[in-house]
Amino acid sequence: MSAINDAPPTPLPAAVDAEQLTRLLALREQLLAEREQAMSPAVDRALEMADYYLFLGLTYFGYTERLFPEQR
């Protein structure tokens, strides 16, 4: 392997992490609001699945507000 592939990833500055976390939390609020207005069970389920993936992204930035994304 080359030295580039063996090098550990460079962490982002804390300010970038905080900004991204803030934007993801705002996106999650919008997603949950849209889910409440879903006009079919299929749309509701698709938005629920999107929330699961968004939750995984939030945990990458240290989000621990809720253990499971479906907790309200």
DSSP count for the chain of H helices, then E strands: 3, 0
The pTM is what? 0.67
Q: What is the pLDDT of residues 30-64, one digit of tens each?
A: 999 999 999 999 999 999 999 989 988 888 888 87
Query: Taking 80 as the threshold, does the pLDDT of residue 14 lie above it?
Result: no
- Identify the pLDDT of residue 48: 92
Cα–Cα distance list, 24 to 4, 15, 29, 55, 56 (Å): 30, 14, 9, 9, 11
- Identify the pLDDT of residue 34: 95
- CA 72 to chain CA centroid, nearest Å: 16
Rounded distance between C-alpha atoms, residue 12 and residue 8, angstroms: 12
| Per-residue confidence band for 18, with pLDDT thresholds at 50, 70 and 90 | confident
